């Protein structure tokens, strides 16, 4: 399932490019697919779809509220709709439209947002969506997916295209390291265990999965064995894998490139308090805004690199 | 037609009285527009989703969703569903939600609205989908004038023009009042006609309570190959003397005595 020598020489690929390529492939097979963007098509890579199928691409200009509600209208008209812009503008700017028009009427609109998380980088706080998963997760009938590598991005977009429900799919600006090999099958109905341990459970998704796998290896080297659970589907949250792991380890760490408020960490806590009360430590950006900086430096500053996660977990394990 | 609209207005007031809440002013201002649309203009099968030709229907969007009792009453009086359902308006478990809901599924209700400023973008999306599918019917969107203060409305107007839509008709129920007072005092829209023209619309202004004028302008718009906006000058609370042009009736239910008085006026 995992690529060989993952932690030694990882290859990387742009998830945005993968998104664009997948849209073009799907658009060729399914003439019902339409794509919208809000003046960021060259960045989100929906421009690839525009080039292939210009009559099925609609640029709504710098008007995200209009884009989301136009997407809703197209879905009312029977279309399978993908709408893209940066995560910051795709969620905060048009939260009302997403809630009251897309989700309330359970429309076939997939919001594929790029530039999720702190790793937007130099553009700084105004462009770093750290709360988007939280907003989206709180809306009834919304599905929220945060894939971790380009293989998974492709499968998630394919799943979205054949599932006529509102969906929020978050991908980062950064290139993602290739984690999954060709045998990996995205399962929308389960969290997936990628490493087996007895001492603690680490839950993550998105771009921090690679960091967590690296952290788990470092922990192994000092005799701490971690269960690593990948939860690309944050909502609906499928508790079984988490429950089984937490009942075994009794200690859970959640790592995400998102605020510790309302994201995967919160979903894990909500699930555990019901199914398997455990000690939980949430690693993510605190209750704060981001700032400008180089991507890796930001990851380091906000404690999301393998090294920082390792240090935090060692402290957490001492607390036991 | 007058008999029809009187019956509709009476039901609207009874529904709101029964629910002890609702929006009589903005509902009564658009009754005549809705009645002409459904009786003379729109091709929407009364069998609704069971109709063979359902996909070729005209689409109607009530963007000013708080006027829902007017739409419900017109639909019921046109036979889309039983008039017996009307008194369920705003009652727990009813399909006649406070604002129109496509989620709960009531025949005749195309889309969910209520949060203002979204119906026009939905209409643009629907019109685009119909154009892609080569469906020749039209999308009609009824908006409130106060609603046009929402910025997203102007995004949608820009988009409609940019997409060169020929299958979209925008109707503005211009009653000049909003909850906090006159639209001119709160945040003026004027000159609305010139603004719409500047956004690429063929603008027609009519008396929104004159059946003949409404029928002509709406049928013309239906035939037209131009993006059309119809400004219908209306009176908030039309039909009930003490409600007319009185902003306090924007969102208030009549009590027993007020209902009795209003129903007498509508005989």
Q: Where are the domains of chain B?
A: 2-265
| Predicted pLDDT of residue A101 | 98
B110 in contact with chain A, both atoms CB, cutoff 8 A: yes
Q: Is the Cα torsion angle A51, A55, A60, A65 positive or negative in sign?
A: negative
A9 — pLDDT class (breaks 50, 70, 90): confident
B267 in contact with chain A, both atoms CB, cutoff 8 A: no
A90's tokens: 């795709």
| Predicted pLDDT of residue B108 | 98
Cβ contact, residue pair B115, A96, below 8 Å? yes
Instruction: Write the ipTM.
Output: 0.96
Q: Give the Cα separation of B255 and B241 in Å (integer).
A: 15
Cβ contact, residue pair B159, A63, below 8 Å? yes
CATH 3.40.50.970 segments of chain A: 12-177
Interface test mutation site (partner B, options A55, A60, A70, max chain B beta carbons within 10 A):
A70
A30 in contact with chain B, both atoms CB, cutoff 8 A: no
CATH 3.40.50.920 segments of chain A: 192-317
B58 in contact with chain A, both atoms CB, cutoff 8 A: no
Q: Give the Cα separation of A305 and A257 in Å (integer).
A: 10
- Which residue on chain A is closest to B161 by alpha carbon? A60
A117's tokens: 């998380």
A298 — pLDDT class (breaks 50, 70, 90): very high
Angle between helices A15-29 and A150-161 (to 10 degrees): 30
Number of alpha carbons in the 13 Å side-chain half-sphere of residue B162: 15
Angle between helices B151-162 and B119-132 (to 10 degrees): 20
Residue B233 has pLDDT above 60, yes or no: yes
Please list every residue in chain A whose beta carbon sits closer than 8 Å to the beta carbon of residue B127. 73
pLDDT digits (tens, 9 = 90+) for A117-141: 999 999 999 999 999 999 999 999 9
Residue where the block lists tokens 């009653």? B175
Q: A12-177 adopts what CATH topology?
A: Rossmann fold (3.40.50)
> Measuring CA to CA, which residue among B69, B184, B175, B65 is closest to residue B120?
B65
- State chain A's mean pLDDT as an integer: 97
Residue A320 has pLDDT above 70, yes or no: no
Q: Mean per-residue pLDDT for A215-238? A: 98
Q: Mean per-residue pLDDT for B202-218? A: 98
- State chain B's mean pLDDT as an integer: 97
A318 — pLDDT class (breaks 50, 70, 90): confident
- Angle formed at CA B188 by CA B185 and CA B191, multiple of 5 degrees: 140
Q: Give the Cα separation of A252 and A203 in Å (integer).
A: 7
CATH class given for the domain over B2-265: alpha beta
Please list every residue in chain B whose beta carbon sits closer than 8 Å to the beta carbon of residue A97. 115, 118, 121, 152
Cβ contact, residue pair A56, B132, below 8 Å? yes
The CATH number of domain A192-317, selected from 3.30.565.10, 3.40.50.920, 3.10.20.30, 1.10.3720.10: 3.40.50.920
Residue ranges of the alpha helices (H) in A169-305? Answer: 208-221, 240-249, 264-275, 295-301
A220's tokens: 């192994």
Asked if omega into A165 is within 30° of 0 (cis), the reply is: no
| Predicted pLDDT of residue A53 | 98
Nearest-Cα distance to chain A for B128, in Å, is: 7
pLDDT digits (tens, 9 = 90+) for A259-293: 999 999 999 999 999 999 999 999 999 999 999 99
Contact B237, B244 (CB under 8 A): yes
A64 catalytic? Reply is: yes
Cβ contact, residue pair A69, B118, below 8 Å? yes
B162 in contact with chain A, both atoms CB, cutoff 8 A: yes
DSSP A175: P
| Predicted pLDDT of residue A319 | 65
Contact A148, A176 (CB under 8 A): yes
Please list every residue in chain B whose beta carbon sits closer than 8 Å to the beta carbon of residue A105. 101-103, 111-112
Q: Any long-range contacts for A312-319 (C-beta under 8 Å, 24+ apart)?
A: A312/A253, A312/A281, A312/A283, A313/A200, A313/A202, A313/A215, A313/A219, A313/A224, A313/A226, A313/A253, A313/A281, A314/A219, A314/A222, A314/A224, A316/A200, A316/A251, A316/A253, A316/A281, A317/A199, A317/A200, A317/A224, A317/A251
Q: Give the Cα separation of A170 and B37 in Å (integer).
A: 43
Alpha-carbon dihedral angle through residues B67, B73, B79, B84, given to the nearest 10 degrees: 130
pTM value is 0.97
Contact B231, B20 (CB under 8 A): no
Nearest-Cα distance to chain B for A35, in Å, is: 12
């Amino acid at each position: 399932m995992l690529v060989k020598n993952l932690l030694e020489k990882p290859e990387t690929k742009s998830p945005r490019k993968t998104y664009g390529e997948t849209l073009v492939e799907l658009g060729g097979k399914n003439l019902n697919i339409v794509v919208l963007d809000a003046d960021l098509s060259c960045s989100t890579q929906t421009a690839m779809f525009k080039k292939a199928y210009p009559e099925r691409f609609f640029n709504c200009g710098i008007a995200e509220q209009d884009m989301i509600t136009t997407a809703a209208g197209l879905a009312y008209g029977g279309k399978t709709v993908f709408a893209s812009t940066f995560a910051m503008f795709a969620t905060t700017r048009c939260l009302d439209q997403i809630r009251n028009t897309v989700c309330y009427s359970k429309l076939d609109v997939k919001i594929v947002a790029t530039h999720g998380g702190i790793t937007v980088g130099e553009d700084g706080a105004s462009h770093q969506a750290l709360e988007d998963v939280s907003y989206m997760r709180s809306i009834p009938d919304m599905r929220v997916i945060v894939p971790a590598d380009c293989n998974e991005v492709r499968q998630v977009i394919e799943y979205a295209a054949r599932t006529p429900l509102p969906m929020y799919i978050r991908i980062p600006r950064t290139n993602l390291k290739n984690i999954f090999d060709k045998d990996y099958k995205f399962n929308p109905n389960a969290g997936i265990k990628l490493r087996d341990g007895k001492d603690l459970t680490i839950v993550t998704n998105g771009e921090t999965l690679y960091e967590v796998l690296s952290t788990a290896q470092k922990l192994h080297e000092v005799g701490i064995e971690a269960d690593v659970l990948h939860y690309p589907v944050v909502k609906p949250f499928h508790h079984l894998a988490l429950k089984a792991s937490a009942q075994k380890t009794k200690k859970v760490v959640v790592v995400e490139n998102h605020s510790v408020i309302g994201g995967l960490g919160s979903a894990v806590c909500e699930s555990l308090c019901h199914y398997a009360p455990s000690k939980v430590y949430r690693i993510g950006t605190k209750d704060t805004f981001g700032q400008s900086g180089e991507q890796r430096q930001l990851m380091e500053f906000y404690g999301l690199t393998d090294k920082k996660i390792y240090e935090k977990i060692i402290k957490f394990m001492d607390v036991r | 037609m007058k008999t029809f609209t009187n019956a509709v207005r009476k039901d609207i007031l009874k529904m709101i009285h029964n629910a002890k809440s609702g929006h009589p002013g903005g509902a009564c201002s658009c009754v005549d527009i809705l009645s002409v649309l459904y009786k003379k203009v729109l091709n929407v099968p009364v069998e609704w989703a069971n109709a063979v030709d359902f996909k070729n229907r005209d689409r109607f969007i009530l963007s000013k969703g708080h006027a829902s009792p007017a739409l419900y009453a017109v639909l019921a009086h046109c036979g889309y569903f039983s008039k017996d359902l009307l008194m369920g308006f705003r009652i727990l478990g009813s399909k006649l939600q406070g604002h129109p809901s496509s989620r709960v599924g009531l025949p005749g209700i195309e889309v969910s609205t209520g949060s203002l400023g979204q119906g026009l973008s939905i209409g643009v999306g629907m019109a685009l989908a119909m154009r892609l599918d080569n469906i020749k019917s039209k999308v009609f969107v009824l908006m409130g004038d106060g609603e046009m203060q929402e910025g997203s409305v102007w995004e949608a107007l820009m988009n409609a023009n940019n997409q060169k839509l020929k299958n979209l008709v925008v109707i503005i129920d211009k009653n000049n009042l909003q909850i906090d007072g006159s639209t001119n005092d709160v945040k003026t829209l004027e000159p609305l006609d010139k603004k719409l023209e500047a956004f690429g619309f063929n603008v027609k202004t009519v008396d929104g309570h004159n059946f003949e004028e409404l029928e002509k302008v709406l049928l013309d718009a239906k035939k037209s190959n131009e993006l059309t906006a119809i400004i219908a000058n209306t009176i908030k609370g039309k039909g009930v003397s003490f409600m007319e042009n009185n902003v306090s009736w924007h969102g208030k239910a009549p009590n027993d005595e007020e209902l009795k008085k209003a129903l007498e006026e509508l005989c």
